Amino acid sequence: MTVTGFKRWIALGLAALLVLVAVAAFVFRADILRTSLDPKVPFQAYTPPSAPNYADPKAWAIPISLHPVAELPADVFFVHPTTYDGGDHWNSPLRDQDAMRQLDRVMLPNYAGPFARVGRIFAPRYRQASLYSQLTLREDARAARGFAYGDVREAFRYWKAHYNSGRPLVIVGVEQGGLLLERLLREEIAPDPALRSRLAGVYLIETVVPASSFDGTAPVPACTSRNQARCVVAWATPRDGDRRRMRERALIWDESGILTGLQGREVLCVNPLSGTTTNAAVSEQESLGAANASGMGYGVRPPYLKRVVSTRCVDGFLDVSKAKSSVFRPARRWADKLKVSPYNLFYGDLEADGQARVSALLGRQVYGRTAPPLTAPVEVRTSPVHRID
């Protein structure tokens, strides 16, 4: 073989190797990224980031100065979902820039936003468990979520003592936030008759919770009517419709505050389109409005589309039809695909539901009618002004 031919074979071999490496990287990209998010230190030997000081206004994601005290009759305690991917920490530093950016740009507008016309929103920053901690069932990952609960409990106690002043309560948690609030509800709210008497509603959004914890004998039962107060709205939507896998990987709190598997328990599903525990399909005609509020900032009521999706509770999980509008595209980044969607298919429904439950608690309609949001561009033209002498 000539030197030239030998070099050609070497070049072809290197090209083939590069192709194999590229194919392997694509096929195993999820495993590679998951490994990169592993803190690679046991939680027991891990030094967590500094704790939040809830007396500092910066420990709250929505400035206290933005709260319209006179206009809204209730307070909303909101615990956000996962925004921190992981890598260096099991639990996120409070000032992680990427996590804060996603919270401010995506999570607050889409998931706290529906309650901005229900009450004053108090959203604590907390040392959330990383996305990685939700991709494994390791004891370290469970410990990270238990650690995050400590911050949420302290934030709630501070808010109750310094901000609430006896006003009606609405409790909202999304995904990880919902898991933490389910425990808070059991340990801090349900045993306190005074708090329960002021509880308008609890929303555990995209959260797996056992139905038995919220039956008719529970201090705070599941909602069976939209005009019912002191009850729980909870649902979880299986990714790619895979209910079996979601059931197998779900974790719930046991009586001693330890995360454990479902172990055959039924899952609670309250349909967000109807606000009830019905297993019947709810058609898209009942959908009050889906919205993509990403990038709009807190307090901006986004344009939304009515009659976008239909829903049905099946085996305890919420099946949701695919939204046809291009506004509701899935996230692009691998890590973001594993978090809650960067839009809210039940934006208008949650706004109406929250207002209905506060009104039911107070025994009167306490919210005025608001003009519907714009759903299409409106052309504004100038008009000549004629002077009248």
**Residue 314 counted as domain residue:** yes
Residue 382 within any structural domain of the chain: no
Q: What is the pLDDT of residue 183?
A: 98
> Which pLDDT score is estimated for 240?
79
Query: Both 127 and 210 in a single domain?
Result: yes
State whether 26 and 93 are in the same domain: no
Residue 63 sits in the same domain as residue 26: no
Query: Which tokens belong to 15?
Result: 């090209």
Please report the pLDDT score of residue 10 as a whole number: 63
| Tens digit of pLDDT at every position of the chain (389 positions) | 565 555 565 655 555 555 443 433 333 334 445 566 789 899 999 999 999 999 999 999 998 766 665 679 999 999 999 999 998 999 999 999 999 999 999 999 999 999 999 999 999 999 999 999 988 889 999 999 999 999 999 999 999 999 998 999 999 999 999 999 999 999 999 999 999 999 999 999 999 999 999 999 999 999 999 999 999 999 999 987 789 999 999 999 999 999 999 999 999 999 999 999 999 999 999 999 999 999 998 788 999 899 999 999 999 999 999 998 888 987 778 788 889 999 999 999 999 999 999 999 999 999 976 545 444 443 434 334 444 44
Alpha-carbon dihedral 109, 111, 115, 116, rounded to 10 degrees: -10
Taking the C-alpha atoms of residue 271 and residue 279, their distance in angstroms, rounded to an integer, is: 8
> Is 383 a member of any domain?
no
pLDDT of residue 386: 44
Flag whether the pTM goes above 0.85.
yes
Whether residues 12 and 111 fall in one domain: no
> Are 51 and 31 within one domain?
no
Look at residue 388 and tell me if it is in a domain.
Answer: no
- One domain, residues 19 and 97: no
Same domain for 116 and 186? yes
Residue 321 lies inside a defined structural domain of this protein = yes
Please give the pLDDT value at position 331: 77
Looking at residue 78, the DSSP 8-state letter turns out to be E
Residue 297's pLDDT is 81
**Considering its fold, how many domains does the chain have in total?**
2
- The pLDDT score that the predictor gives to residue 22 is 40
Q: Is residue 381 part of a domain?
A: no
Nearest to 76, CA basis, from 113, 114, 118, 39: 118
Same structural domain for residues 10 and 129? no
The answer to whether residues 73 and 135 belong to one domain is: yes
Task: Indicate whether 384 belongs to any domain.
Answer: no
Gap between the Cα atoms of 301 and 337, Å rounded:
25
Q: Is 140 a domain residue? A: yes
| 3-class state of residue 178 by DSSP | helix
For residues 131 and 55, state if they share a domain.
yes
Structural domain of 272? 46-362
Q: Are residues 13 and 72 in the same domain?
A: no
Q: Looking at the structure, tell me whether residues 332 and 209 fall in a common domain.
A: yes
**Which tokens belong to 123?**
């959203």
- pLDDT score recorded for residue 34: 54
